């Protein structure tokens, strides 16, 4: 399987997810796993270093809530999303195509059409 995210795209997508609402790392992992129907699920070793880097860059910050780090986007992070909106739109199209490909492959291997294919 080809990489789900091209170089730098996961970073941008994390900002997008945090722009929707504050989230803890495992919630981000779950959202990505669900988006890709379990075929792709990033490890904590993929997500947490990227969140830490985004925080170092001032694009996200975190609060401790019930012993968990809950990350939220900063104004600088929102500005980065605004300045890269065309790239984000392209990324969304690529991810939708990846999900459609996954649905087709799952349908082929199971021998029956997947209900999710009607939604893509």
Q: Residue 74: is its pLDDT beyond 90?
A: yes
Domain ranges of the chain: 9-104
- Per-residue confidence band for 37, with pLDDT thresholds at 50, 70 and 90: confident
CATH entry, 9-104, from 1.10.530.10, 3.40.50.720, 1.10.3210.10, 1.10.10.10: 1.10.10.10
More confident call, 37 vs 63: 63
Q: Under a CB-based contact definition with an 8 Å cutoff, are residues 86 and 73 in contact?
A: no
70: β partners: 24, 63
Find, among 22, 1, 19, the residue nearest to 92 by Cα: 19
Q: Please give the torsion angle defined by the CA atoms of residues 51, 55, 58 and 60, in that order, rounded to the nearest 10 degrees.
A: 60
- Per-residue confidence band for 1, with pLDDT thresholds at 50, 70 and 90: very low
* Dist. CA 96–CA 89, nearest whole Å: 11
Q: Taking the model in full, what pTM does it have?
A: 0.73
- Per-residue confidence band for 102, with pLDDT thresholds at 50, 70 and 90: low
């Amino acid at each position: 399987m080809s990489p789900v995210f091209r170089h730098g795209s996961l970073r941008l997508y994390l900002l997008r997810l945090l722009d929707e609402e504050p989230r803890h790392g495992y919630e981000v992992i779950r959202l990505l796993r669900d988006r890709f129907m379990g075929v792709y699920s990033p490890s904590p070793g993929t997500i947490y270093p990227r969140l830490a880097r985004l925080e170092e860059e001032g694009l996200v910050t975190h609060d401790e809530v019930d012993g968990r780090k809950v990350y939220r986007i900063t104004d600088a992070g929102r500005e980065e999303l605004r300045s890269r909106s065309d790239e984000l739109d392209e990324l969304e199209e690529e991810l939708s195509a990846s999900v459609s490909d996954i649905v087709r492959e799952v349908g082929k291997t199971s021998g029956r059409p997947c209900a999710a294919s009607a939604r893509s």
